[in-house]
């Protein structure tokens, strides 16, 4: 998407032809910084410390890391070691394992001398596929927004609530949950987005709000606890969120707090959609609540909050007593029964084994 008048992806190959440049998201919305990363260790830090984040982007960053390692050492041992190193960076988003498996399965049968070039080609391919998938999700999600708009008075906006950041910063471009919103705006459908701040790291306040403001999309930042109230008062027409891992039966793992939004949506008859790129489906898992590993991050993310001070400096402040311990589960699982539909690149599926199998029969078969 554009930042000012320049088009950016979130990650791209540097002019040197082998290292990568990426948007360091830790400083947004206050500072737009692009950094160069030229080692696998650097990629591992960028993923773990969330310079890059969001399931699809984590996968692409990992693929780039594999390519960098293959340039130094393309042996089987190096391939296995880089898979392990990058896989250990974040446990919940399945796109990480999907991208690492994809790279290893492609590279392993190749002669060592061809692996680096093939790895760079495939990493670029995964990035391009992500963009295409998100565009397609956008076209299917647009139809849902269009139908809701048809039931409103002319000019009245469709009010959409979203959680965390499943926007272009979470992907290579377009975003998953935001792709239908961009297309609705392009189609002239008035929309208004409620942006959950998304404690503890505030990806909604920092990133989604920045994306919406950057594209002139009407939006309002709300605290995470406000969603239920807004839904009770008819102020939300639909919820659309992203996902870090969705099971074969349609259970949706996403940023902590998503489950509470889904409960409130169910109680108030508000449709709850999940934008789901197919690499985010974990065909090996059936029960999301029992089987998906939930990342537990540092309690400092809860006790310390980043922001821009009056003097313009970006600072972190403590909001709780020094002695108070904090827990920080980073994701939760929304059971399939609370999900109205899964918006994939192949269409909108019911959140059920049949729904997902119907759209992706070959993947379901391969995993069986």
Asked if 330 touches ligand MRU (CB under 6 A), the answer is yes
Q: Considering beta carbons, is residue 23 or 149 the nearer one to ligand MRU?
A: 23
Residues of span 224-243 touching ligand MRU by CB under 6 A:
241-243
- Which residue number, 14 or 328, has a Cβ lying nearer to ligand MRU? 328
Compute the least distance from the CB of residue 91 to ligand MRU, in Å. Answer: 11
Binding residues for ligand MRU, total number by CB under 6 A:
17
- Tell me the three state secondary structure of residue 247: strand
Give the nearest distance from C-beta 95 to ligand MRU in angstroms.
8
Q: Rounded to whole angstroms, how far apart are CA atoms 368 and 343? A: 23
Cβ-contact 141, 273 below 8 angstroms: yes
DSSP 3-state assignment of 112? Answer: helix
* Phi/psi of residue 15, nearest 5 degrees: -60, -20
Shortest Cβ 203–ligand MRU spacing (Å) = 5
Residues 42-101 close enough to bind ligand MRU by CB under 6 A: 53-56
> Residue 350, by phi and psi: left (phi above 0), alpha (psi -120 to 50) or beta?
beta
Question: Which residues between 246 and 305 bind ligand MRU (CB under 6 A)?
Answer: 254-255
Residue 247 vs 254, nearer CB to ligand MRU: 254
Catalytic residue among 24, 237, 244, 332: 244
- Nearer to ligand MRU by Cβ, of 119 and 183: the residue is 183
Measured from the CB of residue 297, what is the shortest distance to ligand MRU in angstroms?
A: 8
Diameter of the chain measured on Cα atoms: 63
Distance of CA 46 to the CA centre of its chain: 15
Nearer to ligand MRU, 73 or 128 (CB): 128
User: Cα torsion at 165, 167, 173, 177 (round to 10°)?
Assistant: 120
Determine, following the binding rule CB under 6 A, whether residue 138 of this chain makes contact with ligand MRU. Answer: no
Residue 310 token pair: 């009056």
Mask: binding to ligand MRU, 156-185, rule CB under 6 A, as x and -? --------xxx---x-----x---------
Q: What is the DSSP code (8-state) at residue 53?
A: -
Q: In angstroms, rounded to a whole number, what is the distance separating the alpha carbons of residues 77 and 79?
A: 5
The answer to whether residues 136 and 180 touch, using CB atoms and an 8 Å cutoff, is no
* Contact string 185-214 vs ligand MRU (x = CB under 6 A): ------------------x-----------
Both tokens of 366, joined, read 């391969």
Query: Residue with the closest Cβ to ligand MRU?
Result: 242
Tokens for 156, please give them.
């009245």
> Whole-angstrom Cα distance, residue 255 to residue 239?
14
Residue 137 found at the interface with ligand MRU (CB under 6 A): no
Each residue of 125-138: b (16+ CB within 10 Å) or e?
Answer: ebbebbbebbebbb
Residue identified by tokens 């994306």 is 211
Q: Which alpha helices (DSSP H) does 187-256 contain, by range?
A: 203, 209-214, 227-232
Which residue lies nearer to ligand MRU by CB, 119 or 171? Answer: 171
Minimum distance, C-beta of residue 164 to ligand MRU, in the bound complex (Å): 3
User: Does the annotation count 311 as an active-site position?
Assistant: no
> Smaller CB distance to ligand MRU: residue 53 or 122?
53
Task: Please report how close the Cβ of residue 253 comes to ligand MRU at its closest, in angstroms.
Answer: 8
CB of 321 to ligand MRU, least distance (A): 26
121, with CB counted inside 10 A (0-12, 13-18, 19+), is exposed
Q: How far is CA 285 from CA 162, 251, 306, in A?
A: 25, 9, 36
Q: Which residues are catalytic?
A: 244
Report the interface residues with ligand MRU, using CB under 6 A. Answer: 53-56, 164-166, 170, 176, 203, 241-244, 254-255, 330
């Amino acid at each position: 998407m554009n930042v000012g008048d320049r088009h950016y992806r979130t990650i791209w190959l540097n002019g040197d032809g082998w290292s990568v440049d990426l948007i360091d998201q830790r400083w947004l919305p206050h500072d737009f910084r692009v950094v160069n990363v030229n080692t696998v260790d650097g990629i591992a830090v960028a993923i773990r410390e969330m310079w890059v984040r969001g399931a699809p982007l984590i996968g692409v960053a990992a693929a780039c890391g594999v390519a960098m390692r293959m340039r130094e050492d393309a042996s089987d041992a190096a391939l296995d070691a880089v898979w392990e190193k990058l896989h250990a960076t974040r446990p919940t988003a399945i796109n990480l394992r999907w991208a690492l498996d994809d790279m290893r399965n492609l590279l392993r049968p190749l002669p060592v001398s061809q692996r680096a070039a093939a790895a760079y080609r495939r990493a670029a391919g995964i990035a391009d596929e992500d963009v295409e998938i998100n565009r397609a999700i956008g076209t299917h999600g647009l139809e849902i927004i269009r139908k809701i708009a048809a039931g409103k008075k002319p000019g009245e906006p469709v009010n959409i609530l979203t959680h965390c950041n499943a926007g272009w910063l979470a992907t290579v471009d377009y975003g998953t949950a935001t792709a239908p919103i961009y297309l609705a705006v392009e189609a002239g459908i008035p929309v208004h987005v409620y942006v959950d701040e998304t404690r503890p790291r505030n990806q909604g306040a920092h990133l989604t709000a920045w994306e919406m403001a950057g594209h002139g999309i009407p939006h309002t930042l709300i605290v995470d606890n406000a969603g239920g109230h807004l839904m009770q008062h008819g102020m939300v027409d639909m919820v659309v969120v992203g996902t870090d891992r969705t099971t074969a039966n349609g259970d949706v793992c996403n940023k902590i707090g998503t489950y509470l939004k889904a409960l409130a949506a169910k109680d108030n008859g508000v449709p709850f959609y999940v934008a789901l790129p197919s690499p985010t489906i974990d065909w090996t898992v059936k029960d999301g609540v029992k089987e998906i590993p939930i990342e537990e991050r540092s309690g400092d993310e809860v006790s310390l909050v980043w922001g821009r001070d009056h003097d313009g400096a970006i600072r972190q402040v403590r909001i709780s007593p020094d002695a108070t311990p904090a827990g920080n589960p980073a994701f939760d699982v929304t059971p399939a029964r609370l999900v109205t539909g899964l918006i994939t690149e192949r269409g909108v599926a019911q959140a059920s084994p049949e729904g997902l199998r119907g759209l992706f029969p070959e993947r379901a078969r391969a995993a069986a």
